[in-house]
Amino acid sequence: MFISAVSTRRTLFGCRFYVTKVRGGNKIYDNANDAIKDIRSSAVYLSGGFGLCGVPTTLLNAIDKRNDIKSITAVSNNPGVGDKGLAKLLNKEGKVERLICSYLGNNKTLEGYYRSGRIAVELTPQGNIAERVSAAARGIPAFYTPTGYGTAIESGELVTQYDANSKPIAYQQKREVRMFNGRGHILETSLKADYALIRAKYADKNGNLVFNNSAHNFNAVFAKAADITIVEAENIVNVGDIPPNEIHVPGIYVDRICPTETETDIEILKTSDSDELTGGIRDKIAKRAARELQDGYYCNLGVGIPGRVPEFIEKSKKVYIQSENGILGVGSYPQSNNVDPDIINASKETVTLLPGASSFGSEESFGMIRSGKIDVSLLGAFQVSQTGDLANFMIPGKLMKGMGGAMDLVSNPQSTKVIILMEHCDKYGKSKILKTCDLPLTGKECVSQIITDLAVFQINKQTGRLLLTDIAEGVTLDHIKLNTEAEFDINENIGSF
């Protein structure tokens, strides 16, 4: 048998020597407890998954039982929910010392630990997490990206740690900026880990891996960027059972494999036979947005209202829906008797795949997005300015869910049209369409169109003014003027919806 090896240089008494770690020996362990028996505290852990899809729950449960493992730096797209996923570790004080993620969600325990200084949180755009880990996997120390340029990521204004009295004591590092082809980019460094915790559909005894649909997400790229990669597999098969062309991660990256002992959890169950269209405000906005999608478009849908849009796309149109968690060809919600927990959208809702759909890893997904392959991106927002600035990831002192993939989705507005779907006013009746955003920005001058429950506006970035093009049925022009802080002009031919 050919056994591959990796050599690591060490220094002892002033002399250099190499310690060789064998990577091609036996990789199969009876259970998760054996697979993690020698892992340590104060280390960096990559944890695969998106929402609760593709999460290495068996391994996380085993680590949770190990009281000696503490002060972890955990890297994951999101922190789980309730006591599921990574939340199982985060909810236990002292287990995780630092969390690098793109989205906090509604984990109140985590938010409380963060606000009281018991855990540090480094919010990072979702695509940047994927690319930082991907760079580490390829031996690249750093790279420039447009994602985060002109935001608090660039300026280093995001708080990473508070003291016990909720006073900020540490901030993210300010990023170096360079211009390429007239566009601003920030420098990001690679992100390598001591351990990667992965869930796969199939693993053979050499460590070759296959993932199932949207469970691909961060699992593939994380598997390649750790000193020790530990995989829980739903099916462990013999060498040769997986055709070479179907392998997602070659075995050279994998060190240990154990059987999974848990089913995949479903975070948000949505079915076509139980989720009736309500005709309410959200569906009204989504239905109007569907008219913007032309035949042959590649379209990304963000969280919230955008996820409703596929229900209103005309059957005669061929629109390819891309979901940031690694699907191209998202369909409608499934029938209740045909739900696959490994097929979810960016809102973590169960969906279906259309004929010809494809699934892939998060690094591939955000490569499509940043490079401008997506024609239209539909997102929600807290605020939009009349010059096209967007704020949709935090309200200082009140809400800090995180940017998720939004900063990536607006990073190339020259190639990807950004359309915002939102209610016209917030819950206090205040306009969300402003002269200038007063919340931290997700992107500068990136929005092209706004669709609300009252009206539709085009944004003229040259003049810095809005153009009113559509008014909702039953709404008057005076009502729109009263509820819109931003300045706008009125199109000669006003449409309705």
Tell me how long the chain is: 497
The H helix count followed by the E strand count for the chain is 11, 28
Q: What is the C-alpha to C-alpha distance for residues 431 and 133, in angstroms, rounded to an integer?
A: 39
Sequence-ordered alpha helix ranges (H) in 116-199: 126-137, 152-155
Rounded to 5°, the CA angle 51-56-62 comes to: 130
Q: What is the C-alpha to C-alpha distance for residues 176 and 154, in angstroms, rounded to an integer?
A: 8
Q: What is the C-alpha to C-alpha distance for residues 438 and 381, in angstroms, rounded to an integer?
A: 13
Q: Give Cα 289 distance to the centre of its chain.
A: 23
Q: Identify the CA nearest to 51 among candidates 270, 353, 253, 252.
A: 270
User: Which amino acid appears at position 389 of this protein?
Assistant: D
**H helix or E strand, kind and range, residue 237:** strand 226-237
> Coil, helix or strand for 295?
coil
**H helix or E strand, kind and range, residue 286:** helix 281-290
Query: Any catalytic annotation for residue 324?
Result: yes
Q: What is the DSSP string of 256-284?
A: EEEE--SPPP-SB---TTT-----SHHHH
Q: What is the C-alpha to C-alpha distance for residues 125 and 479, in angstroms, rounded to an integer?
A: 37
Q: What is the C-alpha to C-alpha distance for residues 185 and 97, in angstroms, rounded to an integer?
A: 30
Q: What is the C-alpha to C-alpha distance for residues 26 and 394, in angstroms, rounded to an integer?
A: 47
Structure tokens at 337: 């008797």
Q: Do residues 204 and 237 touch, judged by C-beta distance below 8 A?
A: yes
Q: Kindly name the residue from 131, 324, 349, 364 that is annotated as catalytic.
A: 324
Residues 6+ apart with CB under 8 A from 276: none
Q: What is the C-alpha to C-alpha distance for residues 492 and 307, in angstroms, rounded to an integer?
A: 32
Which residues does residue 170 pair with via DSSP β-bridges, in sequence order?
161
How far are the Cα atoms of 84, 408, 463, 465 from residue 386, in angstroms, in the given order? 41, 21, 9, 5
| Sign of the C-alpha dihedral computed for residues 237, 240, 243 and 247 taken in this order | positive
Sequence-ordered alpha helix ranges (H) in 385-460: 406-409
Residues 6+ apart with CB under 8 A from 167: none
Task: Indicate which residues carry an active-site annotation.
Answer: 324
